[in-house]
Structure 1
């Protein structure tokens, strides 16, 4: 069987060839699809469709996603896909909601049970760990929650909803950062929080699972960096 040819969009952008093997950024993401799907929906077809949609929307763009391609990724015929989601817009909104819920649940579930003095760095460990262990899905999620993407493809009230969820998380972390950074510090708690979260987010981009650094070593490096940034002794 011959490989499907690479297609181009109307403006000339290159689209990856349609494949039934789930790939994102050239890598097989079957493991990520399965793990996130099982965590968010017990491995149901609905959750598998949504997690696959996250990767495809991010890689191909909202306008260029072929529903037949998505159906092939999850082992369905294209008409059957509409039994689960009536429109591409509904699929996009629910895919972003699922991605956010999985991410925030992974980080925040049970966090109030962690002693206050340990809570900030437990969040760092979970946040950076998620980005590192699910780096491809995390990178796809990042594209879908980008404000410019939201303005182009999401209803205004839906975009505000997702922006609010991100802001609530940032405020949760900022309250813990204030244990270490005073309001009148040279760098404000808000800016320190944004820098901390950015360091965690970047794990999805620089960490190489095939490299010389283990996940534990990478987490330790980021934790040391953040502690120094906040002026906390290692």
Structure 2
């Protein structure tokens, strides 16, 4: 049997072999492809965008093979251009859909939750999204990284995506301000960033093969959040 030659990027990094089964970082993402694309409408365009999130993140913008993307979604490569006129348009659309799905999952109907419980509901949904869609969530994280945006996104798109992230942070920070002194030793901004960071990181440390269920893992995040908000030392509260 002929040995398969290792493909490498321009900077020498080893690229994954093309596959028929959608994967990201060695993890099958067929379930994520179906669930996320169905929430967005279930069209072929949605499926292409979700698959593109994983491929752009894993292979890099310059190394994306359009034939590989086409095979993931059951199309021929030229057909992709019926949906997107360029690879840049595909990248912008993929990030946009990733953000729509993430923020929709967290914020849809959130105003109906009582104000005093709203922050904890957002934390539960945010961490829950990252936990239940671990592979896609990690891929999304790579695409919204500021360095990636500077290198590959049009300036207007990069500004728009940055503004969407900032609006979400400010919304959470406003709720954090209901629970800790705004002029305390620990600022609401720092507490907000710590809360969001622990929600994001669950996509990296949680594994279904471990000894913790999804609900137990989410409960841990809620406990940590409550401790950050309520277990601040008395001297820190008084400033």
Q: TM-score, normalised by structure 2?
A: 0.94
Q: Secondary structure at the match of 1:14?
A: coil
Residue 170 of structure 2: aligned partner: 171
Q: Secondary structure at the match of 1:92?
A: helix
Residue 52 of structure 2: aligned partner: 53
Residue 75 of structure 1: aligned partner: 74
Distance 1:192 1:143 in 2: 23
Distance 2:4 2:85 in 1: 28
Paired residue total: 232
Deviations 1:58-101 (A, max 9, x none): 00000000101100100000011111111000000000000000
Q: 1:21 to 1:151 in 2, by over 3 A?
A: same
How far 1:228 sits from its partner (Å)?
0.5
Q: 1:54 to 1:177 in 2, by over 3 A?
A: same
Note if 1:110 corresponds to 2:109: yes
Distance 1:3 1:119 in 2: 56
How far 1:10 sits from its partner (Å)?
2.1
Spell out the pairing of 1:150-161 with structure 2 (5 A cutoff).
150-161=149-160
Moved over 6 A (4+): none
How far 1:6 sits from its partner (Å)?
3.0
Q: 1:163 to 1:211 in 2, by over 3 A?
A: same
Residue 17 of structure 1: aligned partner: 17
Q: TM-score, normalised by structure 1?
A: 0.96
Contact 1:4 1:18 in 2 (8 A): no
How far 1:182 sits from its partner (Å)?
1.3
Distance 2:2 2:168 in 1: 47
Note if 1:194 corresponds to 2:182: no
Unaligned runs of 5+ residues in structure 1 are none
Instruction: Give the alignment's Cα RMSD to 1 decimal.
Output: 1.4
